[in-house]
């Protein structure tokens, strides 16, 4: 069995202990390393916030895009999010079952599906209920003191 940074010879190291371990100063001097570390912290916080409401990041992304852009044809929504069109359908199924979006035929082109937020979806995107706020990165995780800079 190979060891990862989180694993030691005696087994898995606790998350708090892994986070408290000093990072190599040469890595901390790299802006790209610090940016990646900050992005991981933000990503983890967002995954947790969205997950508390039984959703995944693709669901959150679709809801956010519809909140920002308004109703869109399904293929346009997929393109704007960088999702494969076939995958977006299953993501929309999940949030449609929850009553957050609806899909209807485009009156101008019956081959297209228009996706829009429902009233419940709008209430959620306005901050009522489960919609997470931007996760905050604890300053101690990226402070100059912690990174070895003063």
Q: Where are the domains of the chain?
A: 24-53, 54-131
Q: Which residues pair with 104 in a beta bridge?
A: 114
74-81 helix and 57-69 helix, angle to the nearest 10 degrees: 110
> Which CATH fold would you assign to the domain 54-131?
Arc Repressor Mutant, subunit A (1.10.10)
Helical ranges in 1-107 per DSSP H? 15-20, 25-28, 31-51, 57-69, 74-81, 85-97
Q: How confident is the model at residue 16 (pLDDT cuts 50, 70, 90)?
A: low
pLDDT of 92 > 80? The answer is yes
Query: Does position 138 have pLDDT exceeding 70, yes or no?
Result: no
Quote the percentage of the chain above a pLDDT of 90: 45
113-117 β-sheet, strand order = 72-73, 113-117, 101-105
Does residue 18 carry a pLDDT above 50? yes
Mean of pLDDT values over 51-72: 90
- Asked whether residue 11 carries a pLDDT value surpassing 60, the answer given is no
pTM: 0.67
The pLDDT-based confidence of 127 (bands split at 50, 70, 90) is low
Q: pLDDT-based confidence at 43, cuts 50/70/90?
A: very high
């Amino acid at each position: 069995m190979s060891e990862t940074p989180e694993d030691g010879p005696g087994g898995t190291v606790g998350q708090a202990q892994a986070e408290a371990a000093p990072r190599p100063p040469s890595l901390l001097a790299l802006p790209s390393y610090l940016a990646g570390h900050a992005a991981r912290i933000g990503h983890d916080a967002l995954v947790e916030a969205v997950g508390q409401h039984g959703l995944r990041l693709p669901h959150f992304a679709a809801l956010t895009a519809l909140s920002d852009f308004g109703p869109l044809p399904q293929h346009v929504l997929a393109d704007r999010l960088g999702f494969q069109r076939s995958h977006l359908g299953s993501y929309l199924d999940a949030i449609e079952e929850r009553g957050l979006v609806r899909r209807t035929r485009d009156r101008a082109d019956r081959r297209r599906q228009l996706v829009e937020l429902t009233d419940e979806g709008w209430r959620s995107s306005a901050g009522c209920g489960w919609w997470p706020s931007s996760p905050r990165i604890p300053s101690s995780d990226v402070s100059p003191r912690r990174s070895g800079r003063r």
